[in-house]
Amino acid sequence: MSTAESITIDKNGKLSVPGHVIIPFIEGDGIGPDIWRATQPVLDAAVEYAYKGDRKIEWKEINAGEKGYQKTGQWLPEQSLEAIRQHVVAIKGPLTTPVGKGMRSLNVTIRQVLDLYACVRPVKYVPGVPSPMKHPENINMVVFRENTEDLYAGVEFQAGSPEAEKLISFLKDEMNATIAAGAGIGIKPMSAKNTKRLMASAIVYARDNGYPSVTLMHKGNIMKYTEGAFATWGYEAAREQFGDITVTEDEVYEKYNGTAPEGKIVIKDRIADMLFQQVLLRPEEFGVIATPNLNGDYISDALAAQVGGLGMAPGANIGDQCAVFEATHGTAPKYAGRNKVNPSSLILSGAMMLDHMGWTEAADRIRSCLAETVKNGKVTYDLARQIKGSCKLCCSEFGEAIVENICSYPEKC
């Protein structure tokens, strides 16, 4: 009989993680089964290496996407959502978006239904991975993307539909707005509550992980009452909740001669298009980036391109009650079942999950041994074609090579 237990949350909002823990997983669609089969042994090996049997994971499969539809007739079964709520932490592969099924995106739906308001995307260079940057080693940023509002809230109406025409008429007649006839129309909601909780989580992350700054990314010079308000509310959250550990960039120059006081996190903001330039030219100036939904989508993928692409980019969607860690790329159906693609995104997301659980020794082991595997030239096809003299491995072989490093070479990893 299994002795595994679920993670719980205590009265202070902290995770209580048993030594033998149940973690739900969703294989995902397309290449999902391939990358999960490569990932699970890596996670298990790292936990075993770090804790010598005192801690372990019992994996519980839950269904969503194509497998969910095949088994239950639903793309996102309620029992799968309830399993995530019950077990607090889960991990998933990429999910297809059902066409014409009344659901915009399964990934977006999971985030919104479970109120996973922070999409967290660390971007850090792994030595040996090909990069278009001259100094990719300077890239070490974490994007906190607000998940529940902005244009991804899904409040939009098709051009020519009765709903669009009614809304356009209202905006013209009552608000004196100028809108082209026959336009499609969408609403971009942003609120103080949701902005401030995202900013709070970004500051806590910066504090706990040693990042010197949090940058608010916005387009407030044009959209003053949505993105501009996002920046204003972000500064308010820092001042109201973290005044003892934060200082604004303006204060650094006005009061401290341009040098931030020891132990203070600098809060600053950048216009979105400017930030795209600056993370290329001066990446070392940025640590945590807090951003509305659409900006966060763009900047996280652009940063991933600087360190090897989405195949090397981990991610998580985190709320107050549960968290889902995920591969950040799509389902790549043309590669499904071919045991070919790079599983690093899901493997590194698994390391993020272990960090979230407080199992940092295992998480660190995964990251160091993945880096050692790449350094040794053992990589999947996407990297092999860019690294002269490398050894091209299939998806499962790459996972096996990481496991071998985890178990065999403690002095290197």
153 annotated as ligand-binding? no
219 classed as catalytic: yes
107 annotated as ligand-binding? yes
- Selected catalytic residue, list 67, 92, 196, 219: 219
297 classed as catalytic: yes
Could you give the residue ranges of the DSSP H alpha helices within 73-191? Answer: 78-87, 106-113, 162-175
- Selected catalytic residue, list 297, 340, 355, 382: 297
- Selected catalytic residue, list 56, 71, 256, 273: 273
- Quote the CA–CA distance of 128 and 131 in Å, as a whole number: 9
- Quote the CA–CA distance of 139 and 84 in Å, as a whole number: 33
Residue-by-residue DSSP string for 113-146: HTT--EEEEEEEPPTTS--SSS-GGG-EEEEEEE
- Is residue 157 a contact partner of residue 179, using CB atoms and an 8 Å limit? no
385 annotated as ligand-binding? yes
405 annotated as ligand-binding? no
329 annotated as ligand-binding? yes
37 annotated as ligand-binding? no
If residue 230 lies in a helix (H) or strand (E), which one and from where to where? helix 227-242
Find, among 121, 146, 120, the residue nearest to 291 by Cα.
146
End-to-end CA distance of the chain: 35
96 annotated as ligand-binding? yes
152 classed as catalytic: yes
213-218 and 265-271 as β-strands: parallel, antiparallel, unpaired? parallel
Tokens of 99: 């066409």
Tokens of 385: 């074609």
- Quote the CA–CA distance of 36 and 33 in Å, as a whole number: 5
- Quote the CA–CA distance of 204 and 208 in Å, as a whole number: 6
330 annotated as ligand-binding? yes
396 annotated as ligand-binding? no
- Quote the CA–CA distance of 113 and 220 in Å, as a whole number: 28
Find, among 308, 327, 331, 306, the residue nearest to 316 by Cα.
327
121 annotated as ligand-binding? yes
338 annotated as ligand-binding? no
- Selected catalytic residue, list 49, 69, 117, 152: 152
> Binding-site residues for Mg(2+), please?
297
> Binding-site residues for D-threo-isocitrate, please?
105, 107, 111, 121, 145
> Binding-site residues, please?
96, 105, 107, 111, 121, 145, 297, 329-335, 342, 381, 385
> Binding-site residues for NADP(+), please?
96, 329-335, 342, 381, 385
Q: Which residues are catalytic?
A: 152, 219, 273, 297
